[in-house]
Chains A and B, each alone.
Chain A
Amino acid sequence: MADPFLSIQHVRKSFGATTVVEDFNLDVESGEFVSFLGPSGCGKTTVLRMVAGFEEPSAGKIVVSGKDITRLKPNQRNVGMVFQAYALFPNLTVAQNIGFGLKVVGMPRADIDARVAEMLGIIKLPQMADRYPYQLSGGQQQRIALARAIAPKPKLLLLDEPLSALDAKVRVSLREEIRSIQKKLGITTIFVTHDQEEALSISDRIAVMYGGKAEQVGTPFEIYNRPATKFVANFVGTLNVLEGTVTDPAAGTVRVNSEQISLQGKLNGSKSGDTLSLALRPEAISLGRQPGRDSSLSGEISEVHFLGSVIRVRVGIGGSTVSLDTFNSPATPPPAVGEKAEISFSSSDMLVLH
């Protein structure tokens, strides 16, 4: 197997007595788009800053294209970076900002101009060359920051929450643009975000981080549908958690609110009488019995929220509440609060959280 393009090996970072990153390992293939997803303080930005060279790991090493860059200064790494706060140089025009890295390496004037024009074309702002950063909107500034980062053709592109300071609509359009530019240039990219939708929508793989460690690394599909830990299951997407008691470990049956559910092959190591946390995504649940769904639970509708195309229904089952969405159908009135209801699902969709 070929060596990975970027390899972060057993990296640890401590500030005094506080360890913010602990034994972090990740291999990234060339051209891959990997997101670090996690709550504030999970260490995702610290890992990114260690890759950039702004922080030195307390232990471990970082290898790019087979070369150990752990002790290299940021200006020796040939890495591009986009910051949350744009960080455009306020005294320089857009063209000068984009050409900054090229000028630093001593590229001839004509080549700089050509590359700047090419970059402005890629980010679709060709008319902005002579503007100053203060004359641009947040989205435009971040596009310029992206152009500036990729202009010197870096080996690796680091994006540190680049969309956090933008409004919702611009965030969506810019994230799609970032992904499209990344694919077009084939540049290996690490993207830090705390927004799961962002990470799920644009990444090849996601590293979900918590407490300075990578809880799970996988494709968005794997992360969402097969979360490896309770934290990943809770952090990524909406999750309904139900308490269940193991009744027959050999047969794989669990009792939830006096109803038996078969979870064959998912109860590894559980004993009879053990209490388990069982999780279901809202989209895996249907209201009423549905063909192809092998399990069901009974309860009472506690809340109904009309959201236009979708109706969000909460059903009380024992001491728990299960949330599910149904499509709005003009011919069918929405369920009423207080009605008895049955929810159905496939037992294969039920996750056992360890």
Chain B
Amino acid sequence: MKSGKFWAWLVFALGAAYFFIPLIATVEFSMRMRRGEYSFDAYKVVLGDARFQATFGYSVLAAVFTIILGVLIVVPAAYWIRLRLPQLRPIVEFITLLPLVIPAIVIVFGYIRMYGSNSPLPFLATDTGTNALLVIGYATLALPYMYRAVDTGLRTIDVRTLTEAAQILGAGWGTIITRVILPNVLIAVLSGAFLTFAIVIGEFTMASLLNRPAFGPYLQNIGANRAYEPAALAIIAFAITWGCMSLIQILSRFAPRSANRPN
């Protein structure tokens, strides 16, 4: 028994070391900008950089639109598949996995060919169009995560009976989705939203090839030209990620209890 505990703690310590040592090393390195002493100079430089604020703000906005688009597409689709077209589930699951198999660079080259300024749908002819195309691209990249999160959430409730109960009480599809289905899969949607946010904030390929002022290309640019600032940026990105996770945890306390404790 004691020996078992020892090995369990050893494995835990090795795992923790694997996770924390690079993190501590990065923090330590990011604070060595001033010679001979530790300081937050690198952080000051990064946070004070107008490009950081602009690109980060741009990516946050893109993430918000991507999440909205993803929820609008995925929630009704996953709901309808569970309710009426369960036989299509394997096909839809396969389609939602495609963004993991097809590299982003292939997708973005496809976009450039399909939606160039001479095409019938010239998304790339204007900045707004390009931004919209970027959000669509991001929604595609986030599809595997968003779909799975929502589908898992739908699995915890009796979609068909709840739908029928709402229908017989006079509810139309809009009411059913907004008042019955969505509130009960809110935690799942938030999980999907968080994953989408994480993907969008760090995404480089699409933003770079579509020439958008996003956070990913900025990270790459800083990483290629500076020494300490990339380490500070990595820690900031890490803090944002953890902040998002904490936010999900807090929000989940206010979400319908049923989503956590189905009947």
B92 at interface (Cβ–Cβ under 8 A)? no
B261 at interface (Cβ–Cβ under 8 A)? yes
- B170 to chain A minimum Cβ distance, whole angstroms, is 4
Interchain CB contact (< 8 A) of A85 among B158, B170, B175, B259: B158
> How far does the alpha carbon of A53 sit from the alpha carbon of B261 in the complex, in Å?
31
**With A75-B167, A104-B169, A104-B175 given, is the CB distance from A87 to B262 under 8 Å?**
no
> How far does the alpha carbon of A88 sit from the alpha carbon of B262 in the complex, in Å?
11
Contacting residues, chain B, for A78 (C-beta < 8 A): 170
Contacting residues, chain B, for A152 (C-beta < 8 A): 169-170
Contact status A90-B157, CB under 8 Å: yes
Interchain CB contact (< 8 A) of A75 among B168, B179, B258: B168
A105 at interface (Cβ–Cβ under 8 A)? yes
Tell me which of A134, A145, A149 has the highest count of chain B C-beta atoms within 10 A of its own C-beta: A134
Contact status A80-B168, CB under 8 Å: yes
Tell me which of A85, A91, A101 has the highest count of chain B C-beta atoms within 10 A of its own C-beta: A91
B88-121 Cβ-contact flags toward A at 8 Å (1 or 0) = 0000000000000000000000000000000000
Contacting residues, chain B, for A75 (C-beta < 8 A): 167-172
Q: How large is the interface on B (under 10, 10 to 19, 20 to 34, 35 or more residues)?
A: 20 to 34
> How far does the alpha carbon of A141 sit from the alpha carbon of B161 in the complex, in Å?
15
Interchain CB contact (< 8 A) of A89 among B165, B167, B170: B165
A224 at interface (Cβ–Cβ under 8 A)? no
> How far does the alpha carbon of A330 sit from the alpha carbon of B151 in the complex, in Å?
65
A residues 89-103 near B (Cβ < 8 Å) are 89-91, 100-101
Contact status A90-B262, CB under 8 Å: yes
Output the nearest chain A residue to B168 by Cβ-Cβ distance: A81
B46 at interface (Cβ–Cβ under 8 A)? no
* Chain B facing A: main interface SS: helix
Contact status A91-B184, CB under 8 Å: yes
Contacting residues, chain A, for B157 (C-beta < 8 A): 90
Output the nearest chain A residue to B182 by Cβ-Cβ distance: A91
Interchain CB contact (< 8 A) of A81 among B165, B179, B259: B165
Contacting residues, chain B, for A91 (C-beta < 8 A): 180, 183-184, 256-259
**With A86-B263, A89-B162, A90-B157 given, is the CB distance from A74 to B257 under 8 Å?**
no
Contact status B263-A74, CB under 8 Å: no
B164 at interface (Cβ–Cβ under 8 A)? yes
A54 at interface (Cβ–Cβ under 8 A)? yes
B166 at interface (Cβ–Cβ under 8 A)? yes
> How far does the alpha carbon of A133 sit from the alpha carbon of B162 in the complex, in Å?
13
> How far does the alpha carbon of A90 sit from the alpha carbon of B156 in the complex, in Å?
11
> How far does the alpha carbon of A337 sit from the alpha carbon of B175 in the complex, in Å?
67
Q: How large is the interface on A (under 10, 10 to 19, 20 to 34, 35 or more residues)?
A: 20 to 34
> How far does the alpha carbon of A90 sit from the alpha carbon of B165 in the complex, in Å?
12
A167-191 Cβ-contact flags toward B at 8 Å (1 or 0) = 0000000000000000000000000
A50 at interface (Cβ–Cβ under 8 A)? no
A132 at interface (Cβ–Cβ under 8 A)? yes
Contact status A132-B258, CB under 8 Å: yes
Interchain CB contact (< 8 A) of B167 among A74, A105, A148: A74
Contact status A89-B172, CB under 8 Å: no
**With A133-B258, A134-B258 given, is the CB distance from A90 to B168 under 8 Å?**
no
Contacting residues, chain A, for B172 (C-beta < 8 A): 75
A-B interface, 9 closest residue pairs, ranked by CB to CB distance from nearest: A90-B258, A91-B256, A101-B169, A87-B165, A91-B183, A74-B167, A104-B170, A87-B161, A81-B168
Given A90-B184, A134-B263; 17 other pairs, CB 8 A cutoff: A74-B164, A77-B168, A78-B170, A80-B169, A81-B164, A83-B164, A86-B263, A87-B158, A87-B164, A89-B165, A89-B166, A89-B179, A90-B263, A91-B256, A134-B258, A148-B169, A152-B170
Residues of A within 8 A of B (CB): 52-54, 73-75, 77-81, 83, 85-91, 100-101, 104-105, 132-134, 141, 145, 148-149, 152
Residues of B within 8 A of A (CB): 157-158, 161-162, 164-172, 175, 179-180, 183-184, 256-259, 261-263
- Of the A-B pairs whose beta carbons lie under 8 Å apart in the complex, a sample of 26, sorted by A's number, is A52-B168, A53-B167, A73-B167, A74-B168, A75-B168, A77-B168, A78-B170, A80-B169, A85-B161, A89-B165, A89-B180, A89-B184, A90-B157, A90-B258, A91-B180, A91-B258, A100-B169, A104-B169, A104-B171, A104-B175, A132-B257, A133-B258, A134-B257, A134-B263, A148-B165, A152-B170
